[in-house]
Amino acid sequence: MAKEEGILLSPGRKTRSSSFSLSSSLPQNHRTFFSHTHLELLHGHCHSEESISLDTLTSSLPGRKPQIHEILRLIGPLNSPMLPLLLYGGPSTGKTISVLQTFRYLNRPFVYAGCRTCYCPRILFNSVLRQLLIREKNAGKGSSGARRCEKPSEFIDLLRISLIQVVNALRERNLKLGSEESDRGNMIYLIFDNVELLRLWDKSSTIVPLLLRLSEILKIPELGIIYISSSSPDAYYLCTGSIEPIPVYFPDYSLEDLHGIFMRNQSNPNLYSSFLSVVLKPFYRVTRRVDELSVAFHPLFEKYCDPLSDQCLVLDEAMKRRLFDNLQPHLASSLNDVFWVPSWASHQLKQEGEHRQKRFWKSIRKEASNELDFHMSMSVKYLLLSAFIAARNPATLDASLFDSSGGSNNPKRKRNLQTSLDKKDNMAEEILLKGPGSFPLERLLAIFQCITSVAESMVEDDHFENDFAIENENFQLTSDVLLQLSALCNANFLCKSGSCPLEGSTRYRCTIDEEMAVKVARSINFPLSSYLYRR
Amino acid sequence: MVRSPPPIRDSPSSPIAAVDASEVSDNNLQPFFVLHKARRKSERKSSASGRTKRNVDMPPSFPNPSVQGENEAIYERLRLEAFDLTWSKIDSAVKEVLMEINMALFEEILQWVFESFSTIKSMSPSEIMMPYPVATGATCKRIPTAMVLTKNIEFVDDLLTFQDLKGYMQSNGCHATYLSALDLSIKHGIGICLKSLCRQLGLEDSDAVDVPLIASWYCEPENYHKPIVVIIDGMERCNGAVLADFIKLLSEWVMKIPIIFIMGVTTTSDAPRKLLPSTVLHNLQPFMFTMESPRRRMDSLIEAVLLRSCSRFFIGHKVAVFLRNHFIKHDGTITSFLKVLKIACVKHFTGEPLSFFCSDMLPEDCEAFLSAKSESLTEDLQSYAFDLQSCQSEKPAGSNNLAQGLLELKRLQNSWTAVVLCLFEVGKLSKIQLLDIFCEAIDPSLCNERDVGQQLLSPLTPSHKVDAKTFSVKGSLIPQVIQKVRELPSESLCHLLSQWSLHVEEMIEIGEQVRDLHSKINLPQNGHISTGKPVDSIDRPLASSVMGESTPSLNDEVAILLVCMVRNFLVPIESVPFHEIVCFKDVAALKSFLIGDPRGVMQDDLLKSDGYLQSTSCGRRESDLSSSTHDTAILYNLAQEHDDLINLHDWYQSFKIKILIPRTKSKRKTQHLRSSPASKKGKFTSLENEATTQARFCRAVTELQITGLVRMPSKRRPDFLQRISFGL
């Protein structure tokens, strides 16, 4: 077992430069990849984890038994060449873990490259090559600098060289060790994960065909390639025009599978099973992804267990009933919650006492529903509202809404407004269907001036505000307003849509929902509803 | 928080010396000038020495350097020193206060970081170094994320807070990195984020950075067993796609490298949901933290800077109201508040000849020093001091002494501060802002309305409740506060009194009264009320039953005390003699500094371009347009005659006439002089003229378009331009 000492990289990568060089026929920059001191890189991988039996393999992955058998069949027995595989299926259906566990069972050397971690071609190449480090023979014969593989052609060259070296090394070792250690074979496998991301890299022009045709290009029988993708094989047909990889489909988990998955490693299987019987069905209708479900289940289970003093006790029917009643109100809300941010303070309060916590929650909820819980200055609020109005109303109605006097108590104007309203009824409906419209800066500023002047006159009439709050000159159109506009853009309340090429000016779009706008309007006593067109 | 650049934008190149200094700086605040301004030769010298000119009241080139000139220079230096001292005090006080406010949050976050660090499974280095994901147990890879709600839509204040947080984390055993929202932009992509991450972690710089590199770095023994905190200052400003990628990427590694996010969120906790796809949201395990709201920060700042005597620099009522309005209506940031304050400070110390007394009043035993200094003042300044408006209107009996006046001012101000703080203690209970109380307490008209308190002294009856309400409608907070005192339960009344006794330490007689009341309230409870919690809960029923009888009288007594304090000690600074020396009142100057009005100024400048350009027609009537005026200005002036829509052809014709008139006149003259003009040549030149006129017209229109004053013709109406005018 002397071979197993060479655990990957653990002595540190710093000594990398004391390296070897390949045969002198190689171009200079190709040497970099062989300048690693680690001898048994590949072979170290599998040794850090113990290999597992077929039974543990299938039982650790509930519901994936047929797929695992399919993979095992396609990979074939020791030393048999294989065609490239494409494992596909929705996200979180156990593709990656199935392959990794399968190789753990097979105990064969492989190289894993996830396209998420390796976020650009160069890093992907380097990651693959780094894992294919080769036994060094001529140590100390000069090393090259830290130049790296940049182009696909270089990658292919280097990959071929290193693969051959690895395969040779494997074969050599098998010969040396004789029959009892030869169970690892002389095949080497490349696993590419998240292949669907490749299509986004460079508009799939070069890198996807390159990777998908890797086995064809390299023509090394000892190389097996496995692609893992969350998009179906159809997505890659156009790119290749070569032998298609054999697809293996990973379907979504069924109810029983999910039950099996969630029952693994539970400290109190009885309790958790009764919890799942309550929760799993309604959630199954929403999502079948294990990650989403586990995120949703975690807080629910805590709530479920709340009434229990001792979590180890055996549940009777009455108890189950009680727990269910306790959970019921939370269930519906958490089905709709996509993203719930608990506050850390409340989390700590929970540890202190149940009663206080409830009061705390109530206060939080109440506050959240009525008030804006962050600071915006008045003119930002007005600006936001005018953006909202500009996005909701058709531009042609602005003139009838805001006349120069700004007063809203002119009966004649109201009648005019009414008639124009009737006329444009259809238009308003259409706009509602279209969603928020875009508007140029000038229109926004014009509406801003109108509504601020109206607001000021209102304040003067009513005398509601403090004495010193009444200062007419406060809403001038200043550079501040433009700064505030950019602040709103920063907060994602407004977005700049692509500038209209004919007009040459940027257009804006307001992205807040009506609830928020009403909140803002309420905080400054602004009659928003009288400025919006609706049915 | 962010130190604003010195607000005097002194530009030696600014050529308009004819306008006074404040106007120059006003103009310089504008983002750009439309026109270049001509220099006036004679003024160059004086503009080069612009700084001294502004600081000294005398002209800089004093004809013959006499003793007076020397004195002037000395006082000048004194004022500068006083400014430096005052501002550095204010600055350090501000920093201290902000740090204090943030510290509680920082500690909370640190505690959370270590708690979530313990939940992330730490693996052995050999496992971490494996290039493939961990196979066992990790059904969902979630990164612990602190969503720090900054409570303010403007983010300037918080940039430094997050920097401070980074430092705090680093000094408390974390690897901390700071990514600004600019790092996470679509332009740079995810590579830059990782690179910045690596650089801040102290990895050697390499051109291709990936997560395994960080993993191997983390496995080194000196880096191991420490959480890696990634702080992102403004999550809303990040590019959603890049941030999503970044989170996905790191979440693949979260079981190996203990990465913990801290994200600033300026709006609501909903923001991530709008920005990120739900698949990414599942990779975050969020917890919410909230910063102190800007209003609370502002209150503590006001308390530290303007109330506690860290400096002897005060602001007048109008300035305070302006500050308050600016904060509420325009720019609710600490940064802008500090900017205003600094401008006020600079203006005060440069404009007020005696302002150097501000720093002299700081030490406790400044009496002798003050009197010595006031004795040694020059005649001019002496007479200036006693000619101050406050001194004349309200001549204090027998105090013709400047030093005594200043000491009196200091004493009054101290007690004023104490009373305001007492009022604020009550205001806290009914969520009244200190800024509001401050503005009201500093109002000089308060002095004349002393009898307001008289009404409130009478015992509480329903009719008086109505009274209080009418007050509140009128907007005076102090009666509200007094009313509040009457309604307080005994428990908080006791707490209030103990707070008061801290504030009024220096005022001996009031302090005694407060202590008396406090001891009255404390008696039945053996002094346990503010300290022992368990005892408190036991005693409460007893206490309330005892208090049930005595509460009205006690509450009233406290209210009476407060009214007394308000009546006797709440003397607004602007009604104290010599207050001009320490108090800044010039709102107009502040306004001109703060509220830039680029469009307005631009349009103004265009209309009055002759004045700037020093054209030959300077001597003419103001409104008259001449051909020598700049083209853009001519066009703009002509546009004033049109409606919102300008017919291009008409505009061009009138422009042509305007610029051709004088030329034809002069031509005629030359024609008269010369006997034979070549008609052919004349035709040619007229053609040439036409072309240049058109070119000039085009350029001028383009300039107007660039400055945003007109909009180009639309497809529907190709002959018309639209005039855009706001604010004029």
Share of chain B above pLDDT 90, in %: 6
Question: Judged by CB atoms within 8 Å, which residues 46-75 of B form the interface with A?
Answer: none
pLDDT in tens, A519-535: 898 888 888 888 887 64
Which residues lie below 8 Å from residue A272, measured CB to CB, with a gap of 6+? A262, A263, A266, A301
- Whether A139 shows a pLDDT value over 60: the answer reads no
User: How many CA atoms lie within 13 Å of A380's alpha carbon, on the beta-carbon side?
Assistant: 25
Question: Judged by CB atoms within 8 Å, which residues 353-392 of B form the interface with A?
Answer: none
Pick from B137, B284, B715: CB nearest A265: B137
Label residue A68 by pLDDT band (50, 70, 90).
very high
- Whether A59 shows a pLDDT value over 70: the answer reads yes
Question: Are B309 and B280 members of one domain?
Answer: no
Of B244, B273, B292, the position where a domain reaches its end is B292
Question: How many whole angstroms from its chain centre is CA A309?
Answer: 38
Question: Which residue from A minimizes the CA distance to B208?
Answer: A123
- Whether B391 shows a pLDDT value over 50: the answer reads yes
pLDDT in the model for residue B72: 79
Contacts of B151 in chain A (CB under 8 A): 373-375
Contacts of B724 in chain A (CB under 8 A): 442
Residue B216 sits in a domain whose CATH number is 3.40.50.300
Pick from A117, A343, A490: CB nearest B210: A117
Question: Which residue from B minimizes the CA distance to A372?
Answer: B268
Label residue A410 by pLDDT band (50, 70, 90).
very low
- Whether B171 shows a pLDDT value over 90: the answer reads yes
Helices B533-569/B477-487 angle, 10° precision? 140
| Closest approach of B572 to chain A, Cα-based (Å) | 16
Pick from A45, A119, A377: CB nearest B130: A45
Label residue B668 by pLDDT band (50, 70, 90).
low
Question: Which residue from A minimizes the CA distance to B252?
Answer: A117
Residue B563 placed within a domain: yes
Domain carrying residue B716: 614-723
pLDDT in the model for residue B615: 54
pLDDT in tens, B36-86: 444 444 433 333 333 333 333 333 444 444 666 777 788 888 888 888 888
Question: Judged by CB atoms within 8 Å, which residues 566-605 of B form the interface with A?
Answer: 595-600
**Is B325's CB within 8 Å of A342's CB?**
no
Which has more confidence, B671 or A397? A397
Whether B289 has its CB under 8 Å from any CB of chain A: the answer is yes
Of B257, B292, B327, the position where a domain reaches its end is B292
Distances (CA, A) of A182 to A102, A134, A175, B269, B347: 18, 19, 8, 57, 88
Contacts of A449 in chain B (CB under 8 A): 726-727
Label residue A110 by pLDDT band (50, 70, 90).
confident
- Whether A323 shows a pLDDT value over 70: the answer reads yes
Residue B86 placed within a domain: no
pLDDT in the model for residue A30: 40
- Whether B110 shows a pLDDT value over 90: the answer reads yes
Question: Are B561 and B666 members of one domain?
Answer: no
- Whether A28 shows a pLDDT value over 50: the answer reads no
Which has more confidence, B664 or A73? A73
Residue B25 placed within a domain: no
Question: Are B287 and B301 members of one domain?
Answer: no
- Whether A279 shows a pLDDT value over 70: the answer reads yes
Least reliable range by pLDDT among A91-95, A502-506, B190-194, B482-486: A502-506
In angstroms, rounded to a whole number, what is the distance separating the alpha carbons of residues B611 and B606? 10
pLDDT in the model for residue B270: 82
| The most confident of A3-12, A71-80, B131-140, by mean pLDDT | A71-80
Whether B277 has its CB under 8 Å from any CB of chain A: the answer is no
| The most confident of A21-30, A474-483, B634-643, by mean pLDDT | B634-643
- Whether A44 shows a pLDDT value over 50: the answer reads no
Enter the tokens of residue B282.
Answer: 């599942």
| Closest approach of B384 to chain A, Cα-based (Å) | 32
- Whether A53 shows a pLDDT value over 80: the answer reads yes
What mean pLDDT, rounded, does chain B reach? 73
Whether B203 has its CB under 8 Å from any CB of chain A: the answer is no
Residue B265 placed within a domain: yes
pLDDT in tens, B558-596: 888 888 888 888 888 887 777 888 888 888 888 777 766
Question: Which residue from B minimizes the CA distance to A147?
Answer: B207
State the best of B153, B592, B722 to mutate against chain A, taking most chain A CBs within 10 Å.
B153
Overall domain count for chain B:
3
Q: What is the mean pLDDT of residues B528-553?
A: 41
| The most confident of B26-40, B207-221, B398-412, B457-471, by mean pLDDT | B207-221
Question: Are B626 and B550 members of one domain?
Answer: no
pLDDT in the model for residue B644: 78
Label residue B260 by pLDDT band (50, 70, 90).
very high
Question: Are B214 and B345 members of one domain?
Answer: no
Which has more confidence, B2 or B710? B710
Helices A514-523/A378-392 angle, 10° precision? 140
**Is B724's CB within 8 Å of A116's CB?**
no
**Is B329's CB within 8 Å of A379's CB?**
yes
**Is B595's CB within 8 Å of A119's CB?**
no
Question: Are B691 and B619 members of one domain?
Answer: yes
Residue B662 placed within a domain: yes
Contacts of B210 in chain A (CB under 8 A): 117-119, 123, 126-127
| The most confident of A133-142, B51-60, B112-121, B305-314, by mean pLDDT | B112-121
Label residue A21 by pLDDT band (50, 70, 90).
very low
Q: What is the mean pLDDT of residues B593-616?
A: 71
* Complete DSSP assignment for A157-202: HHHHHHHHHHHHHHHHHHHHH-STTGGG-S-EEEEEE-GGGHHHHS
Q: Are B105 and B292 in contact (CB under 8 A)?
A: yes
What mean pLDDT, rounded, does chain A reach? 73
Question: Are B142 and B214 members of one domain?
Answer: yes
Residue B69 placed within a domain: no
Nearest to A483 by CA among B598, B9, B337, B725: B598
Pick from B139, B153, B325: CB nearest A375: B153
Question: Are B328 and B284 members of one domain?
Answer: no
pLDDT in the model for residue A504: 56
Contacts of B249 in chain A (CB under 8 A): 116-117, 119
Contacts of B194 in chain A (CB under 8 A): 119
Contacts of A120 in chain B (CB under 8 A): 191
Q: Beta A507-510 vs A494-497: how paired, if at all?
A: antiparallel
Nearest to A473 by CA among B600, B648, B604: B600
Pick from A442, A469, A490: CB nearest B237: A490
pLDDT in the model for residue B293: 85
- Whether B261 shows a pLDDT value over 90: the answer reads yes
In total, the C-beta contacts within 8 angstroms joining chain A to chain B are 222
In angstroms, rounded to a whole number, what is the distance separating the alpha carbons of residues B565 and B418? 9
Of B579, B596, B627, the position where a domain reaches its end is B579
Question: Are B107 and B240 members of one domain?
Answer: yes
Amino acid at position B242, single letter: V
CA dihedral (A170, A176, A181, A185) positive or negative: positive
**Is A375's CB within 8 Å of B149's CB?**
no
Enter the tokens of residue B246.
Answer: 């970044």
Question: Are B288 and B303 members of one domain?
Answer: no
pLDDT in the model for residue A249: 93
pLDDT in the model for residue B400: 60
Question: How many whole angstroms from its chain centre is CA B6?
Answer: 14
Label residue A213 by pLDDT band (50, 70, 90).
confident
Question: Are B430 and B556 members of one domain?
Answer: yes
Share of chain B above pLDDT 70, in %: 71
pLDDT in the model for residue A362: 45
Question: Are B324 and B253 members of one domain?
Answer: no
| Closest approach of A96 to chain B, Cα-based (Å) | 8
pLDDT in tens, B231-249: 998 888 888 889 999 998 8
pLDDT in the model for residue B521: 73
| The most confident of A2-11, A364-373, B367-376, B536-545, by mean pLDDT | B367-376
| Closest approach of A247 to chain B, Cα-based (Å) | 22
Residue B598 placed within a domain: no
State the best of A344, A356, A502, A524 to mutate against chain B, taking most chain B CBs within 10 Å.
A344
Contacts of B272 in chain A (CB under 8 A): 339, 341
The complex's ipTM works out to 0.81
Residue B12 placed within a domain: no
In angstroms, rounded to a whole number, what is the distance separating the alpha carbons of residues A238 and A98? 28
